[in-house]
Amino acid sequence: MPNILRSPIWFGFIALAIFLAYLNWPAEDQQRRGGPRATPVITQVVSQQSLPITVEALGTGRANESITIAAQDSEVIEAIFFDDGQQVTQDTLLIQLNATQEKARLNEVQTNLDEALRQLVRLQNLAQSNATSKKLLDEQNARVEALRAQLAVAQANLADKQITAPFSGVLGLRNVSTGAFVRAGEVLTTLDDLSVLKMDFALPEKHLSTVAIGQEVFATSSAYPGETFAGKIMSIDSRIDPVTRSINVRTLIDNADGRLRPGMLLKVVLQKEVLETLVIDEKALVPDEDRQFVFKVVDGKAVKTQVQLGVRRPGKVQILDGLVPGDEVVTQGTLRIRHGSSLNVLSQEG
């Protein structure tokens, strides 16, 4: 045991303990032992600052427009005109189904219509010289109109064999191949408009009065660390969920580069308002049971002052009562002072 007490490690430990005790020893005891001595501290001048009031939530990304492209008829695929993930414009032909019967029917109706129109012209010429009856002319007019209707139906049936993009966007994975027989309703691929991302998130009902269409929203994704995506509230649900007591909000985020994808989980920060209020560094607070205090600097002395807190932000806190603009409070060195301690202000923080 005596060898341990004489070891350098033991002496180093004792010296460190004495040094730490000195740093945290109340200034009044130091003054009684060695005479008056001011405790070095760092302070901050209380001032009005802008304090943004924000709400955080989790949102889910959705495409601006999103559909599943499926076959309308059961038929064999004649040709495919797209690749996986291809960017397409509106009305681009994607898939051609076999349309042999529809083309034949269209040609048949078109031929009959052409003949009916020739007969109609002949009867109209005869009618001018009263060489035919009005009844025959009316019957031919009716036949022409009926054939025109049949032609419209044949054209629509032929068009159903062509699957086109209803809007511009990005295609998903192709699920079929040329020559495959597809049934009506079978999924062929997907189409998403990613130029704008819709983001839906829920807020507690207490925020309803301070949320409005057009408010700015900031979103972050784990896929892009350190990047922030700005958007604006597009719509607010007309109903509050009776179970969760929350309201759904939809935001639009510009996504021209297509980096954000539907289904992404995004962290949302909504800035409701910006307060112009008294703000101090949170490290200036001295808790005492359920109350909060600060040490004001008055004539070089520490004055323990109770304060009423408002909104907290990382490293900052709003002061509702207890301080006024221009007050100087201790931010570093609060553990070494008491009410009435002499202070040596080394510097002021901005």
242 secondary structure, DSSP code: T
Q: Which of 158, 167, 191 is nearest to 86 (CA)?
A: 191
Which amino acid, residue 296? K
**What pLDDT, on a 0 to 100 scale, did the predictor assign at position 232?**
92
Spatial neighbors of 35 by CB under 8 A, at least 6 apart, are none
| pTM of structure | 0.59
**Quick check: helix, strand or coil at residue 293?**
strand
- Residue type (1 letter), 164: T
CB atoms within 10 A of CB 176: 16
Domain boundaries, the chain: 25-46+285-349, 55-64+193-275, 72-188
CB 189 within 8 A of CB 71: no
CATH number of 55-64+193-275: 2.40.30.170
Q: Domain 25-46+285-349: state its class.
A: mainly beta
Q: Report the topology of domain 72-188.
A: Helix Hairpins (1.10.287)
Is the CA virtual torsion 42, 45, 46, 47 positive or negative? Answer: negative
* Burial class of residue 161 in the structure, from the number of CB atoms within 10 Å of its CB (0-12 exposed, 13-18 middle, 19+ buried): buried
Taking CA atoms, 339 is separated from 206, 290, 346, in Å, by: 41, 19, 19
**CA-based end-to-end distance of the chain:** 53
Residues 196, 328: Cα–Cα separation, whole Å: 49
DSSP structure class, residue 100: H
- CA 298, chain centre distance (Å): 48
* Kind plus residue range of the DSSP H or E element containing 225: none
Coarse DSSP helix, strand, coil percentages of the chain, rounded to the nearest 5 percent: 25, 45, 30
Dihedral of the alpha carbons of 299, 304, 306, 312, in degrees to the nearest 10: 90
**Is residue 98 within 8 Å of 164, Cβ to Cβ?**
no
Name residues whose C-beta falls within 8 Å of residue 289's C-beta, 6 or more positions apart in sequence.
none
pLDDT (tens, 9 = 90+) of the chain, 350 residues, equals 445 445 566 656 666 666 555 545 554 444 444 445 788 988 888 888 887 778 889 999 999 999 999 988 889 999 999 999 899 999 999 999 998 888 999 999 999 999 888 988 888 887 777 766 777 888 888 998 999 999 999 998 888 889 999 999 999 999 899 999 999 889 999 999 999 999 999 999 988 888 889 888 999 999 999 899 999 999 999 999 999 999 999 999 999 888 999 999 999 988 777 778 888 888 889 998 889 999 999 988 899 999 998 888 778 888 889 888 988 999 988 888 889 888 888 887 76
- Token pair, residue 151, equals 């032609």
Residue 348: other Cβ atoms inside 10 A = 12
**Tokens representing 183?**
């049934």
